[in-house]
Amino acid sequence: MKARIATLVVAAATVATAWMAAVPSRAQEPTAAGLWQKLDEDTKKPIIWFLFMDRGGVFEGYAAKMFPEPGEDPNPACTRCTDDRKGASLLGLSMIRGMKRNGLRYEGGTILDPRDGSVYKAVMTLDPAKNVLVLRGYVGFEFLGKNDIWYRVPDSACSQLDKAIVTKLKPDCAEAAKAAPKGKPKAPAPK
């Protein structure tokens, strides 16, 4: 009987070890942390870059670089916001809050629309194969929402962010920016 129990224990340990080796750890999984860009649907030119940060398992997205059209305010404020962001500069503003990771999906968060100050419920889904992040903002029910597709920007593009933003939001990005070659980032083209 003891030999049979010992064999079962060894077999269980072998299966557990094999399973743990086959399942990647959370640290090895792709993450939404880093730089992302929203593109104009017609021109495919960048509208805004977001820097997503993991704050103890809760992800936040900050406006990290804006691409204003000629004649637009290069540093607008969130004049229509009604919460703690009222009157704050959009650059460096936390526009996506409270996203909790569930594998490649991020749930339970909100997104701010600075055009009218509205705050919507939001979820995000990461597609590492395509280097895209799909953000869905909604009111009430998720199926009634609207998707935005954002594209990964290389971390080396931190060199193009305003120094104050890099220092405020991501010191590690500041180090990458020092080492990065100057010039435009080679972000993946939309597919």
**β-bridge mates for residue 52, sequence order:** 34, 61
Domains and their CATH numbers in the chain: 32-179 (2.40.128.520)
What average pLDDT does the structure give for the chain? 80
Q: How many Å apart are CA 97 and CA 109, to the nearest integer? A: 5
Cβ–Cβ under 8 Å, residues 32 and 152: no
Q: What is the value of pTM for the model shown?
A: 0.74
Q: How many Å apart are CA 77 and CA 67, to the nearest integer? A: 15
Convert the pLDDT of each residue in 97-109 to its tens digit.
999 999 999 999 9
- Would you give per-residue pLDDT tens digits along the chain (191 residues)? 555 544 433 333 333 333 334 344 445 689 999 999 999 999 999 999 999 999 889 999 999 999 999 999 988 999 999 999 999 999 999 999 999 999 999 999 999 999 999 999 999 999 999 999 999 999 988 888 899 999 999 988 888 887 777 777 766 666 555 554 444 444 444 44
Q: Where are the beta strands (DSSP E) in 78-138?
A: 94-102, 105-113, 118-127, 132-138
Convert the pLDDT of each residue in 156-190 to its tens digit.
888 888 777 777 776 666 655 555 444 444 444 44
